[in-house]
Every structure is written in structure tokens, then in C-alpha cells.
Amino acid sequence: MPPSMPGWPELLVVVVGIIIFVGLLHSLRHEVRPWGQPNLSLQRYHEWLESERRAETLLRQLLTEDEYRHLNQQGYLAVPSPSIPGRVYRVPRRPGQVSVFESGRLIMNLCIQPTKVLPAADVVGMHKMMIQGNEAEYLQVANRISPASHHRT
């Protein structure tokens, strides 16, 4: 065989690579799974991206420049308690528990989730508005988790 023609092993590698590539393209066309989201068709994926974009725009309008900058730099929004001096709620940017601090000390974590899947930015805004609008009800609805039950490494 001339040196410019590939042998069977090389052809087999190329063919298998093409099959894998076509399979990946097919799966991306029909099912896309953004982080933390259910499988979505390509159209639904674009709708999901648009809802994330709109939610981020709304959150940007809801927060002050300093709050928005802090959220993006630190990964959480610090919401001061409207009724308890020295208490601050740290609302995470990504899905997770809200950490509650008093005088700089972690006193509890809260787990509260919307009943439907929402864009992450909407969840951050939801926490802020619930805390500022009716902190007592927010605390009544949330599941409390003792900081002692978390093992930090």
C-alpha cells in the first residue's frame, strides 16, 4: 500500500469518530440539558435561555449597582434583615441554601424553593422581595438547618 493511503486501522478510527460525532450532533439537536435543568428540545432550550436573559435583566433593575456587583463578585446577595438589627441573609447566585448571619456569625441556613422551576435570577429576586416584604412569613415557610449539621472542609 502506498504511504499516502491509510490502512484499515486508521480508516476504522476515522469511521468510528464520524459515527460518534454524528451521534453527538443528533443528541444535541433533540435533547439539551442546561445545568440543573430537565432535558429540553433545541427550541425549548432557546426559550429557556431567553427566560434566563429576561430574569437577569429584571434582577439587574431590582438591585442597586453595589448589590448587583457584590452578587456577581461574591456569588451571593447580602440582604439585611428589615426587623432584626445585625442580621444578614446571604442569598446564593446558584441554587442552594440561604445562610443567615447575626453580627457576622452564621446562625442557621434556610432552604426555601419555588414550587415551579424558575430562572436562577428570579429565585434570587424572590428571596430578596420575600425577606424585605414579609420576613416573618419567609422564616415560617423556610426549612431551618442548623449550621452545626454542616461539615466544612
C-alpha span between 141 and 144 (Å, rounded): 9
- Higher-scoring residue by pLDDT: 129, 113: 129
| 79 — pLDDT class (breaks 50, 70, 90) | very high
- Tens-digit pLDDT profile for residues 94-107: 989 999 999 999 99
What domain range is 85 assigned to? Answer: 73-149
Number of domains in the chain: 1
C-alpha span between 63 and 19 (Å, rounded): 49
What's the predicted TM-score (pTM) here? Answer: 0.69
Helix or strand holding residue 10 (H, E): helix 8-30
Residue at 41 is within a domain: no
**C-beta separation of 75 from 92 below 8 A:** yes
Sheet architecture: strand order including 143-145: 76-80, 87-92, 98-102, 105-111, 143-145
- Tens-digit pLDDT profile for residues 23-44: 555 554 444 455 555 566 787 8
